[in-house]
Amino acid sequence: MTKFNEELVKAGVMLAGEGLTPTSKGKRVKFSGTQRTIVDGPFTESKELIAGFWLWQVRSMDEAVEWIKRAPFGGGVEIELRPIFEAEDFGAELTPELREKEQRIREQIAKKK
């Protein structure tokens, strides 16, 4: 996997990527109105669990598919690909004021790196 990640970084595709600890170390928070219920892991009833993530910058979903097809996984692994929302996806709902607030938040996050 390290070699594949190195290829992604060298190509300027990979922005981030991390593996997640087992569900035995996790918690779930269930929301119901104003109530919050905390459930401790492990979550054995789950059939689909996220084991990690990559954040890629690609030109299209087709490019992402071509990259993931090269990943060194054996049988029984399923990968989900989804794009991140872009500002343009929100249309007029993302007012200039909201754009400015979003930009300030991004700048604050960048300062912490």
Superfamily of domain 2-82: Dimeric alpha+beta barrel (3.30.70.1060)
Closest-CA residue to 47 (of 76, 84, 83): 76
What secondary structure does DSSP assign to 4-22, as a single string? HHHHHHHTT-EEEEEE---
Q: CA angle 52-82-110, nearest 5°?
A: 70
Angle at the Cα of 10 (from 7 to 11), degrees rounded to 5?
85
What confidence category does residue 70 fall into, taking pLDDT thresholds of 50, 70 and 90? Answer: very high
Q: Which of 20, 8, 22 is nearest to 68 (CA)?
A: 8
Q: pLDDT tens-digit profile of 3-13?
A: 999 999 999 99
Residue intervals in the chain for CATH 3.30.70.1060: 2-82
pLDDT mean across residues, the chain: 94
Residues 36-69 pLDDT 10s: 999 999 987 767 788 999 999 999 999 999 999 9
